[in-house]
Amino acid sequence: MSFKLLVINPGSTSTKLGVYDDETPILVETLRHTSEEICKYKNIYDQFQFRKNVILDSLKKCKVDISTLHGVIGRGGLLKPISGGTYIVNERMLEDLKSGVQGQHASNLGGIIAHEIAKELNLTAYIVDPVVVDELHDVARISGIPEIERKSIFHALNQKAVGKKYANESGKKYEELNVIVAHMGGGISVGAHLKGKIVQVNNALDGDGPLSPERSGNVPIGDLIRLCYSGKYTLEEVMNKINSKGGYMAHFGTNDDRVVEQAAIDGDKKAKAVRDAMLYQVSLEIGKCAAVLNGKVDAIILTGGIAYSSSAVEYIKEKVAFIAEIIVYPGEDELLALVQGGLSVLKGEEVNKVYI
């Protein structure tokens, strides 16, 4: 039996939706929202009805009969830390998505909208591998300041999806392999996957790890503290320097790696230096993950938008190819990853998890 699924992935200024027959796309749409449409709402949850209506209107316009759906899957948001997998959207999850238990982000709306549409159709709603997937070794959480614990917030959906893709292509189970995945997009996360669990990964939301097109990456902590107390910046301004306006944005005013790469090719020495620094730091993070896995690494997977760049891939290969085979899955297909997570439960390949 095949399953027809609706998948929903809300972003800050757009909502991506797809209708799939198993893994075959029937409809894929990116619904853009103007700043005027978004700014009229005080907080993220207030956007719920607006976004839901836009989705339903688009489906109606494209003549999609939602009564034929078998399930609805939303992008998971900033929930409490949970292990990876596919979760039924329940009341406890809805409460935490609405309140923003770990913060406010448009992805919080994914599970809420999926639940409301599914409820009207007497279906079950799911989320898959949200950004708060936490499977860290206990030792990886400890910092030198007792009040501060390291957190796991990263590109879990794509990292898990490409790990499983590599396993499938290798004729093995994801739970049998040790892989390192470097997701390189606006933010960069590098994870050590130990037999199906991501036991080490940098916090890609708060600027931990390599510098990236939008993140500062690790910076000298003493200088950062002095910057915070300089009186020049508010808390919000400093946080923006770290998690949205750092990296390429701070140096060049763009988050497009293709622009910086071309500038480097054209002879811009700063562009080359900063881009090389980013790739150098990705390589360092991969080496750290290899140590976590005791050097027993089946493959290193490069993914995300920057993995389309042959020069980026070659730079990293030169640094870390001695560790393991390099596999490249450029870009990311979050809608398909959501579908695959839902299908794994609907087809009985995995048991859905319950958020508590």
pLDDT, tens digit (0-9, with 9 covering 90-100), for 91-100 = 999 999 999 9
Please check whether residue 119 lies inside any domain of the structure: yes
Whether residue 287 has pLDDT greater than 90: yes
Residue 207 confidence (pLDDT): 81
My answer on whether 166 and 248 are in the same domain is: yes
Neighbours of 129 (CB within 10 A): 27
My answer on whether 169 and 49 are in the same domain is: no
My answer on whether 343 and 315 are in the same domain is: no
Please check whether residue 174 lies inside any domain of the structure: yes
Beta-carbon contacts of residue 194 (< 8 Å; ≥ 6 apart): 178, 292, 293
d(CA 315, CA 70): 45
- Please, are residues 77 and 114 in contact by the beta-carbon 8 Å criterion? no
Average the pLDDT over 9-33 and give the result: 95
Average the pLDDT over 132-158 and give the result: 96
My answer on whether 118 and 210 are in the same domain is: no
- Please, are residues 328 and 313 in contact by the beta-carbon 8 Å criterion? yes
DSSP string, 172-231: S-GGG-EEEEEEESSSEEEEEEETTEEEEE--TTTT-SS--SS---S--HHHHHHHHTSS
Domain count, the chain: 2
**If phi over 0 gives left and psi between -120 and 50 gives alpha, with beta otherwise, what is residue 344?**
alpha
Please check whether residue 151 lies inside any domain of the structure: no
What number of CA atoms fall less than 13 Å from residue 203's CA on the CB side? 14
My answer on whether 66 and 127 are in the same domain is: yes
pLDDT tens, residue by residue, 171-206: 999 999 999 999 999 999 999 999 999 999 999 988
My answer on whether 180 and 64 are in the same domain is: no
My answer on whether 247 and 171 are in the same domain is: yes
Residue 13 confidence (pLDDT): 86
pTM: 0.93
Q: Hey, what's the torsion of the CAs at 158, 163, 169, 174, to 10 degrees?
A: -140
Residue 225 confidence (pLDDT): 97
pLDDT tens, residue by residue, 215-254: 999 999 999 999 999 999 999 999 999 999 999 999 999 9
Residue 128 confidence (pLDDT): 98
Q: What are residue 7's DSSP bridge partners? A: 18, 73
Whether residue 275 has pLDDT greater than 90: yes
Please check whether residue 140 lies inside any domain of the structure: no
Beta-carbon contacts of residue 9 (< 8 Å; ≥ 6 apart): 15, 16, 17, 74, 75, 107, 110, 334, 335, 338
- Please, are residues 176 and 298 in contact by the beta-carbon 8 Å criterion? no
pLDDT tens, residue by residue, 22-55: 999 999 999 999 888 988 998 999 999 999 999 9
My answer on whether 289 and 191 are in the same domain is: yes
The tokens describing 306, both together, are 């920057």
pLDDT tens, residue by residue, 53-68: 999 999 999 999 999 9
The tokens describing 253, both together, are 């005013």
My answer on whether 344 and 291 are in the same domain is: no
* Domain harbouring 44, CATH code: 3.30.420.40
Please check whether residue 195 lies inside any domain of the structure: yes
Q: Which domain holds residue 250?
A: 156-330
